[in-house]
Amino acid sequence: MAKVLVIDDSPFIFKAVKKALEPHGFEVVDNAPNGQIGLEMYDKYSPDVITLDVTMPVMDGIETAKGLFGKNPNVKIVMLSAMGDDVLMNEAKGLGIKQFVSKPFKPEDLLQSVNSLLGS
Ligand SMILES: [Mg+2]
């Protein structure tokens, strides 16, 4: 069962990710409310896929992505962006993030992005 870690300061998004992916056999393991905790949880869970928020307290999505790529150059990240995140999104593309889903998202859009990262 593929494990998914949600790094997002909104508990609502965690619930929405769970709802979108768990019926399709994913295990959504935990919700890190900021990037710093996200990096710790990455070590704890070794998730197959991470959904990553852009704007968060303590450590934003860009710094978090740098940290994750530092731990694993092949880490699989879906960036969940909100309106107004355009500049940071371009930076994220430069870092090598390939999947982006804008919030609020449709469950099937998130599922498709996750599956495409996993090559299925
Ligand atoms: Mg946020």
89-109 pLDDT, tens digit each: 889 999 999 999 999 999 999
Instruction: Using the mean position of ligand 1's atoms as its centre, give its distance from the Cα of residue 116 in Å.
Output: 24
User: Using CA atoms, how far apart are residues 62 and 89, in angstroms rounded to an integer?
Assistant: 8
Structural domains in the chain plus CATH codes: 3-115 (3.40.50.2300)
What is the pLDDT confidence band of residue 82, given thresholds at 50, 70 and 90? confident
Give the model's confidence band at 85: pLDDT under 50 very low, under 70 low, under 90 confident, else very high: confident
Distance between Cα 44 and ligand 1 center (Å):
22
The alpha carbon of 24 and the centre of ligand 1 are apart by a number of angstroms equal to 25
Distance 93 CA to ligand 1 centre (A): 18
Average pLDDT, the chain: 95
The CA distance from 42 to 6, in Å, is 10
Question: Residue 2 Cα, ligand 1 centroid: separation in angstroms?
Answer: 24
Contact 60, 49 (CB under 8 A): no
What is the Å distance from ligand 1's center to 1 Cα?
27
Distances in whole angstroms, Cα of residue 93 to Cα of each of 11, 66, 89, 98: 25, 12, 6, 7
